[in-house]
Amino acid sequence: MSRTQKLTPELIGRAIDSISLNKALVFIIAVAAAGFFFDSFDIVIVSYALPLIKLEFNLDPKQVGLIGSAALAGMGLGSWMWGWVADRWGRRVVFAATVLMFSVCTGIAGLSMSLGFLIGARFMTGLGLGGMVPIDQALVAEYAPARIRGRVSATLPLCWPIGIFAAAGAGLLIVPHFGWRWLFALGVLPAVLVFFIRRGVPESPRWLADQGRHEEARASLRYVGVDDATIERARSELAALPATKPEPEAKFADLFSARYARRVAHTWLMWFCSGFAATAFSVWLPSIFATYYHINLTRTLVYTFIVAGTSVVGRMFAFSLIDLFGRKALIVIGYGVAGGAALMFTQATTETALLATAMLYGFFADIGSLAMTVYTPEVYPVRIRGKGAAIAMGWGRFGGMVSPIVAGFLISADNLNYVWGLMGAFQFTSAGLTLLLAHETSRRNLESVAKPA
């Protein structure tokens, strides 16, 4: 056994695949999952504040749409920016910096005294939020054994609707009694994660080995229970396999080559379409209930709280099935049924029908969303995993940025049914693209998945 031999991402992947779920892995997963919880909490609290913000600043639907879009615009740019940072300087830097940025800026948004200040604060919040999701997802995927990677990776997006559920509950308890500003003050809490928890998470060993930092990679592996003996056993197993033609190292330019065209086209378009539909639903639903269907504020917040709870159940359902049925089937079924539910809104006229349809939509849309979030970083090789996943997810943020503005124009023109129709069309597109273009990644080693077809 020689400590002088180099480590490779493929060797590290095989060694990691031999370990079981242990306390160190659980800690990494839990810290990343907590980040997802606060990420979704901070991104959607504006939805539950919008009815009062609209009254305080005397806003029309188009201006309300700008508030909803500001954070998504920041998230789109943040995804791209932080993806570069993660691949250049490591996942751990982004792991800490992004959660601090979105926490502080959320608190600043609560101090807004004008529409412009609020939009600016929400944009800066989005810059931090946009980088956290893809990089946290990539880091956890790079630590997870292949046989349980689906459920391990799914733990993070499982926490997303739980954050929304908590935001809805906080909105119900705080907004009617204390106003919308105190809701934003709660968003500062994630900053605690940066100083007391996230610094304890080690760098990805796959990334370290790719950078030639082999001793640091060994230290990260030891943290999760992979000792030198396990590494050498994995080396022997790889040496016993039939020789294969070496793959050239992945470069950023490969994202724009024919080798990766299929997965790039699929992930970018899927994220844009689903992001458009998801944000139109989450940002506008409370305002639509309150202003378009004239449901009072308290009942509106109760209904959105129920819908958020249904979304949590949907993600828990997907979490339990993702390694059994795979990512592809859950994306197709989830987004396909959600598209049908979006069209059902055009025929829902009573409060009961609206609530039931919203619950159906939230349940299945979140099934598709969880599977999509797990799937995306898996299909890119380690050297460009941060940028690949971040750019794909960034397109989702830009889809989300566009949708509140489009919805605002349509609602102001009394064309709400067109909003539901667009949501349905985009969800059907996500399901169709996945059916035609997706590679199943369940239970496969990350390095084998990342090789172009």
pLDDT score recorded for residue 1: 43
For residue 297, the SS3 value is helix
The domain ranges of the chain are 9-239+254-445
pLDDT score at 429 = 97
List pLDDT tens digits, range 236-281: 888 887 766 655 666 667 778 888 889 999 999 999 999 999 887 8
Q: What is the DSSP string of 401-450?
A: HHHHHHHHHHHHTT-HHHHHHHHHHHHHHHHHHHHHHPPP-TT--HHHHH
Query: What is the average pLDDT value for the chain, to the nearest integer?
Result: 85
User: Architecture of 9-239+254-445 per CATH?
Assistant: Up-down Bundle (1.20)
Alpha carbon 449 to its chain centroid, in Å, reads: 20
pLDDT of res. 376: 92
User: In terms of pTM, does the model score above 0.85?
Assistant: no
Q: What is the DSSP letter of 346?
A: G
Across 102-138, b (16+ Cβ under 10 Å) vs e yields bbbbbbbbbebeebeebbbbbbbbbbbbbbbbbbbbb
Q: Give the span between the Cα atoms of 32 and 201, in whole angstroms.
A: 9
Q: How far apart are CA 261 and CA 271, in angstroms?
A: 15
Encode pLDDT of 28-75 as tens digits. Answer: 999 888 888 888 888 788 878 888 888 888 888 778 878 877 887 888
Residues in the chain predicted with pLDDT less than 50, given as ranges, are 1
Using DSSP, state whether 84 is helix, strand or coil: helix
Query: Counting runs of H as helices and runs of E as strands, what totals does the chain give?
Result: 18, 0
